[in-house]
Each structure stands twice: as structure tokens, then as C-alpha cells.
């Protein structure tokens, strides 16, 4: 499965070059991030994502996308406005070194959530989430695919819905928009809950 995902990434040109962030420098400028994301990148509020262990390449891309407007979020646009590329890479390097805390999946959603995450839905063309985000949700950092395991279910659901509705459009080659558009609301709800307890 991993070989298939890597082959797909190479054919789509998705492999991201290694970042050159300095985690020590990132730590020095990370205080402003703590209010929403927690000092160690593990936010307490489900509306704010856990950025601990997200993956350096992915996190750096998201910060740059917020600044350029490729990813629309008024709060984040304001937060990154004064940061240069190097500072964003340093922040990404710092939070990539942090360990993400894990939540719990709602018992009534585990079966469908696990099925969707591990096998997708062949009938509707939904691929297994683990093909890009790995079996344990640790992602593929070198490819820029984020670690999902332990992320707030409410946040995952909000992002899948945003991709589904075309409100989030900073995914390479429309991959996530295409996948989310094929998912039912029930699948989105269940897989989001499952991911919250995945580790």
C-alpha cells in the first residue's frame, strides 16, 4: 500500500523537498502560537488543530498558504502576516518535534470509521485514508502528507467538509477535494471520530 502511495505521489509531483527549519529558532518565536494551539502544539479546544507532530513540510506549507491566501483563514492570516519564510520553516520544524496527544473515538463510530480509514469505499471510489496518512495515522512527512492520528475529530470533520464543499482548496492536484466529494456525511463523521483515537 505504501509503495502504491509513493508511486502516486511521484506521478503527481507531490514529493516535497526536505525543509531547512531550525527547531531551536522556532521555539523562540512560538509563544504566539500557544494561545490557540497550546505550548507544545496540543490544543485543548477542538476547533483549533493540534499542530504537534504534524510534519515539517506540511506545516510549513500551511503557514505559507495562510500568508499567501491559498488557504483562507482570517485568524491565521493575521498571525503569519509578519513572518518571513525562514521563520515559518523554523516554527514548522519546532512543532514537528513535539509529540501529539491522543483522544478517544466514539464507540458507535469506530466500525465505520475504521473501515473508511483502512479500506475506503470501493463502491464510491473513496480510497483508504491510510494510503497517504499511514496505518497508525503518522502520515508521510517527506511527501507532505500530515499525521492525522489523535487530531481533534471536530477539526478533521470541519476540514473534510471544507474540502467537500470546495471551501478549502490548497490540496495538491485537488486530491482531498476529490476524495471528500465522494464521501458521505456519515463516513466523514465516522472517520473523523476514528482518527481522534488513532495512534
In this structure, is residue 102 part of a structural domain?
Answer: no
Q: What whole-number distance in Å separates Cα of residue 51 and Cα of residue 96?
A: 8
Residues 89 and 152 in one domain: no
The pLDDT assigned to 172 comes to 92
Domain-ending residue, one of 72, 96, 120: 96
Please, which pLDDT band fits residue 20 given cuts at 50, 70 and 90?
confident
In this structure, is residue 1 part of a structural domain?
Answer: no
Question: Residue 133's closest CA among 37, 22, 9, 28?
Answer: 9
Count of domains forming the chain: 2
End-to-end, the C-alpha distance of the chain in Å comes to 18
Domain-ending residue, one of 71, 96, 121: 96
In this structure, of 7-21, 83-97, 163-177, the range with the lowest mean pLDDT score is 7-21
Q: What whole-number distance in Å separates Cα of residue 119 and Cα of residue 131?
A: 9
Question: Residue 178's closest CA among 10, 12, 2?
Answer: 12
In this structure, is residue 2 part of a structural domain?
Answer: no
Residues 6 or more apart whose Cβ sits within 8 Å of residue 35: none
Residues 118 and 90 in one domain: no
Domain-ending residue, one of 76, 96, 116: 96
Residues 67 and 24 in one domain: yes
Task: Please determine, for residue 6, whether its predicted confidence score (pLDDT) is greater than 50.
Answer: no
In this structure, is residue 43 part of a structural domain?
Answer: yes
Residues 32 and 57 in one domain: yes
Q: What is the pLDDT of residues 115-174, one digit of tens each?
A: 999 999 999 999 999 999 999 999 999 899 999 999 999 999 999 999 999 999 999 999
Residues 92 and 112 in one domain: no
**Domain of 138, in residue numbers:** 107-196
In this structure, is residue 9 part of a structural domain?
Answer: no
Residues 116 and 77 in one domain: no
Return the CATH number at 140. 1.10.760.10
Amino acid at each position: 500500500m505504501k509503495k502504491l502511495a509513493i508511486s502516486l505521489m511521484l506521478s503527481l509531483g507531490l514529493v516535497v523537498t526536505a525543509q531547512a527549519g531550525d527547531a531551536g529558532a522556532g521555539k523562540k518565536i512560538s509563544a504566539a502560537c500557544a494561545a490557540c494551539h497550546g505550548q507544545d502544539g496540543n490544543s485543548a479546544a477542538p476547533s483549533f488543530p493540534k499542530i504537534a507532530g504534524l510534519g515539517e513540510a506540511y506545516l510549513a506549507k500551511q503557514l505559507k498558504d495562510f500568508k499567501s491566501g491559498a488557504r483562507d483563514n482570517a485568524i491565521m492570516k493575521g498571525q503569519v502576516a509578519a513572518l518571513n519564510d525562514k521563520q515559518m520553516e523554523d516554527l514548522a520544524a519546532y512543532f514537528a518535534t513535539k509529540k501529539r496527544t491522543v483522544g478517544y473515538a466514539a464507540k458507535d463510530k469506530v466500525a465505520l470509521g475504521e473501515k473508511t480509514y483502512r479500506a475506503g469505499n470501493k463502491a464510491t471510489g473513496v480510497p483508504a485514508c491510510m494510503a497517504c496518512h499511514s496505518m497508525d495515522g503518522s502520515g508521510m512527512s517527506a511527501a507532505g502528507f500530515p499525521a492525522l492520528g489523535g487530531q481533534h475529530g471536530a477539526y478533521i470533520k470541519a476540514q473534510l467538509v471544507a474540502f467537500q464543499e470546495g471551501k478549502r482548496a490548497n490540496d495538491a492536484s485537488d486530491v482531498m477535494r476529490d476524495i471528500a466529494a465522494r464521501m458521505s456525511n456519515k463516513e466523514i463523521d465516522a472517520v473523523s471520530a476514528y482518527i481522534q483515537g488513532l495512534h
